[in-house]
Structure formats: C-alpha cells, structure tokens
Structure 1
C-alpha cells in the first residue's frame, strides 16, 4: 500500500463545487494534492484562476500520465459517465459528485471498479459535508442495520423551512433558494424529488447491498404540499420534511421510499433546518446515531471531495461489503403506509384502495384524511400525485403485514364504522 502519495489532479467542471475545491486545495498544502488542469465547456467565461489552467479538450486530462486522479463535478450525467469510465480504464482514480450519473450507471461503475482495480469515491454526491457513505461502508454491519432515514436534499429542506418559519409561499421560498445557490438550475430536479432519490439509490447499496435504478424506487417531492398541510402539521406539533427512509422488516426484506413526512419535535430530523442535511442510522446495539451537516453549497461539497482525495493517498477503495461479502438484501413493497392526504375533490380519491380511513375533515377549499394504503398501490399508481393531491406520510408510517389485521380491527372499532 502506498502512503501519502502525491496527487496530481485533473478537474472536470469549475462551477460552485469545482471552484470551491480549487480554493480549498490552495489552503491545504499538507494534503500534497494539486490541480494540473481543469476541463471546462465555455472558454469565454471569466474565472478566478489563471487562464493556463483551463482547457476544453478532455483528452488533455484523461491521457496525461502525470495526472493520477480525475475529479468530476459537472452537471450532465452522460458526459460524466464517459469521463469516469475512461479515467478508470486509463488507470486513474476518480472522485465524483454526480449523483444522477452514479445512480443511473451503478452496475456499470461497479463492474469497472472490479475490472480496473481503481478507486472510485463519491462521498460528495450524497449529503455533501456528512460522511454517510464511509460510515455505512466501514461501521455498520448488514445484519445489525435496522434502518436509516435522512434529509438528503438541502434545497427542498430550505424551501420547507422558509414555508414553515417565515410563512413564505412555495414560489417565494423556491426563488430564494435559487438566489442563494441552494436549488438546481432546473428546480424540478430538487422539488419533485429526483435529486433525493438519485442519492438514495446508491445509499441503499452501501446500507443494504441493494442495486436498484432510481426510476424503480417509490418517491415524490414537495411540489404538491399546500399551506393548509403546513397548518395541519403545526396544529399537531410537527413539521413536514422530505424524508428518505429504509427499514428492514421482520421478513428480512427492506422497505424504502423518498416521500414528504410529518416529523414530530422530538425526532432528530426536526432539528435539520434550511440547507442542512441530517441522517439517522438505527442499528442493533448502538441504538440511533445522528449525523448533521450542510448538504449544499460550495465549501461543504468541496470538503467532501477533499475527504475523498485524502483517502486516495492511502489507496482507499469502497469494498461494497453489503453487496460482495454478505447476502444482499432485497426491496419489497409488501407492507402498508399510514398516510395523510389532502385534496380538493373526493372523486379523485379511490377510497376502495384504502385498508381503512382513520379520520377525515371536509373543509371548503381542501379536504384531508388519514388512512392506510398498501405501499404497492403508491409505487404502481400515480393518482396520489395528480389533481392537486398532496400525500404526506405520518410520523411512524410503516405497518407490516403481520400487524395489519389487528390494527384494522382496532381502527374499525375506534371509528365505529365499517368501510
């Protein structure tokens, strides 16, 4: 093993994260890492670095034998995958922050790492400054990991915080997030949950050895949340957060989703405000552990890239222990979720799909109910995302099949009605 080796970096992208890394490396000479060349798309754009550093020819970086590390922090998934693939095949270690690229190409990236023996690290792609991937890889054994839930998108968390605390409406909060650089240029990626589910796809691999394309995961964003939903949450002493969650069920399979959720004040995630991220990991003997840090912005993301670069000095690689050294877990949607649903018209709500309905309120403008739905109904159908309908999970939403009949009987007794 080589210790403290010199890192000569070829950097792709000089936006918020790329320039952040350039600045951070200037302030950390002890790392023995330097950027030799930066590949950019638009040579006419003014940048705060010497002109000689930049090129538009990616082969200048990928074919330079002196460059032993490629850092890739561009926004486009397909070009990013080409860059990463070529770099690994050319014998270079790679550090990436491209969550969409990793989520969509994970099987190929795993194969490339095995074929080439090169390191491919991407702590910066999930939760920025929080070392969640390294912790899942090194610290939590597959059999002992009960569950993980997290706020992994700083932009939506910022928007929800402003809606709750400053009483901004959705559009005002979104605009502010964009102005401060917390929201992507295409807000749909953040707001509709795509960014969060991309991160969640590969976090599931490190947590449970699960490989699944993000399109096949159960998810939605915050695009349908109304002011009335926030009011209901406040009345219940709760907040609304976009929560990614995975939990091992009693049958050994894993329930997983990224959906807005009511979060009570005593929950660790209730402390996570604005652009911050938070991760709660629950394991067999250590109970719950809470990780908290900035999930967006120049220096927080650059700090995660820096951490990966530091690890490369020791030839660190992800071992994917849950995938290669354990029996990987499998996802299931054979469970139930307790949901809050607000809507304008009963005709858009298929009441027959519910196992039961616990409460309902009929306001003039919007109505809402709390009830229990099969998780498979949410994954296979989209009525709950349409017609101005807002679905939010309750604080402890998962109900296993073994408990459903008992709860159903109790709920019907309480309601005094048979549906």
Structure 2
C-alpha cells in the first residue's frame, strides 16, 4: 500500500528562498517530489537552473493539471494572494511563505480552505526554521496555553545585538545588517515592526483562534531605540529585544502586541542573538518550553517549506482546532502595561495619561521615566512613537485589570504618598 503521494510542484519565485528550495529538493531524492515549472518576473536575470524550468506566465503553473502543489515564495502580497486563491480553487494544495499576504487575507484564506477542503500550509511564514505553527496546532490546547513570547524578526534582533555587544549606534548597526544581507535596502518593514506584527497575526490564529488584521494589533519597531536606552538596560542587568507576545488575561481574553521590551539576562530570549529567532511557550502543565533557530536566510526558510511539502505527501492539513473546535478567544482591550520611556523634552510626555509613575530621571541629557499606562493610552495615540520618544516595556509589563487597584495602592505607599 502506498503511504504517500507523488508531488509535482509549481514554484512561484526564485529568489533567496526559491533557489534554496530548488537546491534542497535536489539533495533529498527520497521525497519523490519534483519542481515542474518556476514562474519568475524577470526572464533575463541569470539563474542557477536550466532555462527550460522558467516561465513568466503564471497560468502555465496554475492551469497545469499535472501540478498538484503550488509553492509561493514571492514578496508581492497582492500577487501572492491571487496565486494562492486561484491554486486552491483549481484543486491544488498550497505552501506559502508570504507573511504579509497571509496576515492581511487570513479570513479569505480560511474560507477557501473550508470551501475546497484543500491544505494551505505556511510554516515558513513565521520564524523560518522553527516549527512553531505545527506545534501550536498539534500540541498546545487552547485552555492550557498561558502565554507566548517570541523574537520573530532576525533583522531587528541583529541590530539590537550589535547595539548591546559592540555599542554601535542604531544607524551603524542597521548599515551593518544591510551589508550582511539581514536587512533589506528599504528596512522599514523590519525595523518599524511591520514584519513582526504580520507573523504575530498568523501565530495568534494558530495559538488562540484569534483572526485579527495586523492593523488591529498594537505594535512598534526599534526605530526609536537609543544607545542611551541600551546603557540604562545594561546598568539594570537587562537586554532590549523586540518581543511579540500574547498572554491570557483573567477574563479569558488575550493581551497581544509587538513592542521593544527589557529582558532579564536569565530569560531564554536573552540568549537569542543576531539573526536568530526564539519562542517561549508557557502552558498549564508543561511550564515553559523554548524553541530556538534561524529566523531568516535561504536554507532555514527553505527547510520550513520543505517540511510543509513533506507533510502534504501524507495529506496533512491544519485543523485550526482553536478556531473551529473551541470557542475562539478575543483580543483584550482592558489591561495595563508598565513602560520605560526616554525622551529629550518633558513637553512631549502626557504625564496625565499615566496611572502612576514609579521613577523618573530628569537630570541626564536623555531623561527617562518608568510608569504604568492603560493599553488604550498607547493604541489611541502616537506620542510614544514621535519626537524622539523611545518606549520600552519593562520585563514583567502586563498587568491584569483585576490587579491594578492593589498595585496602585502599593506603589503609592512605597512612594510615601499614602
């Protein structure tokens, strides 16, 4: 009896990931998988594969009945969505690495899978070589999943590592990341947090059944982090990382966001350096589990695509248990965050927005404070992204609504106010 089916692939994109996949498949003949055609945009670009493999006509792949799998690794989100939806409607399984496309079109992609009964796999779209989606799908039950904290963007992690370890300025570290190919020539998507929040929107679905457009998830990048922030962190024996997190609150909703955060040096995410990614999952009985691996690059990303292709041979598909078999959870809007804010001028800081301020340092060139804000004060305004203001979450930043009264009273006692 045959345990798995022969896969014939139509591949869209032959950049870093596409070429990586082509090379990896040549080295794994046991998969009984072949690429029949590759659709590319620019036919004149030299490529390390036979010319007969390439076409600029997408219909050659999408209408070919022999091709039963479409692998899509292009960076144009609109074109990618068109490819994916046409492929599924034409009876083809799909593997995708396009996080922006998936994050922005999640409801439609879920609907297409329901309609067609065909698998759509996207492990490569979040954390590259770390099998985080499959683990969230298969291993963690919604009721027991307390929190997830992750470093999901290798470029920003590389930049922060260089600022901390080599005391480079943000600009110098960014330039180095570009020279080494870890950051794009237009680094805005990575540096300002867009890439990370797209990945987080995908993971929130597999973790908690939350289907939410990335625009509705609170996020920022590392573009405002100053060398002085890194020095304050060092003094306090902390790191700064761009952390995506989701935490279940007492009312059953999930506080989720992507923001720079102080990390204690004994925490697993503190060990994640340079272009690596890391994910810490905390659940009811397993306590903390830590996944670590390369979050970018040709072969790490191709390995995740390969894993999805391999799973298709056994007709594997995401069941979306948290969405369809449980009551899906919702994003929380009523919680508090403890933040560190550095700035050049007090006039840019709306002190009245803070529940309380625990410490302030006004004597240095670069002033800073530590205080507590309701999340709506961040989601409803932009002062913390502008005028050279830098906001970093404290190490244990999330405060549940039910704890706030007790904590406020305690902080006022410590300050000698009551």
TM-score interval for Structure 1 and Structure 2 normalised by the shorter chain: over 0.9
Q: What does residue 205 of structure 1 align with?
A: 205
d(CA) in 1 for partners of 2:361 and 2:416?
16
The runs of 5 or more residues in structure 1 that have no matched partner are none
Kept in 2, the 8 Å contact 1:62–1:86? The answer is yes
Q: Give the secondary structure class of the aligned counterpart of 1:392.
A: strand
d(CA) in 2 for partners of 1:87 and 1:117?
13
Q: How many residues align?
A: 418
Q: Deviations over 1:131-178 (max 9, x none)?
A: 000000000001000010100001100110011111221112112212
For residues 17-166 of structure 1, the aligned pairs below 5 Å read 17-166=17-166
The runs of 5 or more residues in structure 2 that have no matched partner are none
Q: What does residue 290 of structure 2 align with?
A: 290
For residues 247-258 of structure 1, the aligned pairs below 5 Å read 247-258=247-258
Q: What does residue 270 of structure 2 align with?
A: 270
Q: Deviations over 1:44-79 (max 9, x none)?
A: 101111111110000000011111100000001000
Q: Deviations over 1:340-396 (max 9, x none)?
A: 000011011000000000000014421000000001111111111011000000000
Kept in 2, the 8 Å contact 1:37–1:61? The answer is yes
Q: Give the secondary structure class of the aligned counterpart of 1:147.
A: strand
Kept in 2, the 8 Å contact 1:70–1:94? The answer is yes
d(CA) in 1 for partners of 2:206 and 2:108?
16
The TM-score, its normalising length taken from structure 2, stands at 0.99
Q: Give the secondary structure class of the aligned counterpart of 1:333.
A: coil
Structure 1 residue 400 displacement after superposition? 1.1
Q: What does residue 12 of structure 1 align with?
A: 12
Q: Does 1:330 align with 2:338?
A: no
d(CA) in 1 for partners of 2:321 and 2:117?
16
Q: Deviations over 1:224-272 (max 9, x none)?
A: 0000000000001110000000000111111011000000111110010
Structure 1 residue 184 displacement after superposition? 2.9
d(CA) in 1 for partners of 2:364 and 2:148?
39
Kept in 1, the 8 Å contact 2:168–2:227? The answer is no
Cα-Cα RMSD: 1.1
d(CA) in 1 for partners of 2:211 and 2:28?
36
d(CA) in 1 for partners of 2:81 and 2:328?
25
Q: What does residue 411 of structure 2 align with?
A: 411
Structure 1 residue 332 displacement after superposition? 1.1
Q: Give the secondary structure class of the aligned counterpart of 1:281.
A: strand
Q: Deviations over 1:7-28 (max 9, x none)?
A: 1111100000000000100100
d(CA) in 2 for partners of 1:167 and 1:147?
32
Structure 1 residue 183 displacement after superposition? 1.5
Q: What does residue 237 of structure 2 align with?
A: 237
Moved more, 177-186 or 284-293: 177-186
Kept in 2, the 8 Å contact 1:2–1:314? The answer is no
Q: Does 1:377 align with 2:403?
A: no
Q: Give the secondary structure class of the aligned counterpart of 2:218.
A: coil
d(CA) in 1 for partners of 2:360 and 2:417?
13
Kept in 1, the 8 Å contact 2:276–2:293? The answer is yes
Q: What does residue 339 of structure 1 align with?
A: 339
d(CA) in 1 for partners of 2:176 and 2:47?
25
The TM-score, its normalising length taken from structure 1, stands at 0.98
d(CA) in 2 for partners of 1:2 and 1:29?
17
Q: Give the secondary structure class of the aligned counterpart of 2:219.
A: coil
d(CA) in 1 for partners of 2:279 and 2:183?
20
Kept in 1, the 8 Å contact 2:245–2:258? The answer is yes
Moved more, 191-200 or 397-406: 397-406
Kept in 2, the 8 Å contact 1:2–1:315? The answer is no
Q: What does residue 279 of structure 2 align with?
A: 279
